[in-house]
């Protein structure tokens, strides 16, 4: 199975003191034959949020280094996918500006025979990463 990680899932996987690090790490470890994907949006979001002083306080270089360290984990099989989709591919459920990125990532995942993996239960058709001890969706 291939999963496109959304920004929050990628942050949780890469930052050990993220609130959901244990949840996402346990999920990734439970499916060793899965492939995990990133794209420009998720990688830029990871670096931007990790480097914000008020949130995690890493420098830009530290955030980039953490992302590269994630890529180097052989068991994770983290791969980058290019994004050639324009705004015309948004799903019909996208009704406001807050849903545009989620809708785009969902469509990008589908176009790459993957599923969008998220911690956000409000994204129709996405895979909700299960909590520790839960079976998920």
Residue 115 CB contacts under 8 Å (≥ 6 apart), including other chains: 1, 2, 3, 4, 109, 126, 127
Distance of alpha carbon 17 from the chain centroid: 17
Residue 68 CB contacts under 8 Å (≥ 6 apart), including other chains: none
The per-residue pLDDT for range 53-77, each reduced to its tens digit, is: 677 889 999 999 999 999 898 778 8
Residue pair 115/5 in contact (Cβ under 8 Å)? The answer is no
- Provide the CB-side half-sphere exposure for 98 (13 A, CA): 3
Query: pLDDT value at position 134?
Result: 55
Question: Which has the minimum average pLDDT: 18-27, 30-39, 108-117?
Answer: 30-39
> What are the structural domains of the chain?
2-128 (3.40.50.1010)
**At how many degrees (to 10) do helices 7-14 and 21-30 cross?**
90
Averaged pLDDT of the chain: 90
The pTM score is 0.89
- Provide the CB-side half-sphere exposure for 48 (13 A, CA): 8
pLDDT, mean of residues 96-100: 83
């Amino acid at each position: 199975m291939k999963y496109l990680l959304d920004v929050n899932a990628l942050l949780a996987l890469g930052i050990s003191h993220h609130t959901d690090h244990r949840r996402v790490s346990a999920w990734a470890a439970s499916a060793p034959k899965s492939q995990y994907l990133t794209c420009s949006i998720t990688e830029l979001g990871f670096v931007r949020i990790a480097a914000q002083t008020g949130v995690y306080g890493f420098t830009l270089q530290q955030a980039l280094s953490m992302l590269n360290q994630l890529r180097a984990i052989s068991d994770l099989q983290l791969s980058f996918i290019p994004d050639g989709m324009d705004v015309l591919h948004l799903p019909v459920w996208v009704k406001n500006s807050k849903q545009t990125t989620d809708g785009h990532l969902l469509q990008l995942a589908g176009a790459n025979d993957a599923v969008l993996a998220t911690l956000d239960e409000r994204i129709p058709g996405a895979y909700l990463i299960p909590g520790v001890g839960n079976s998920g969706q």
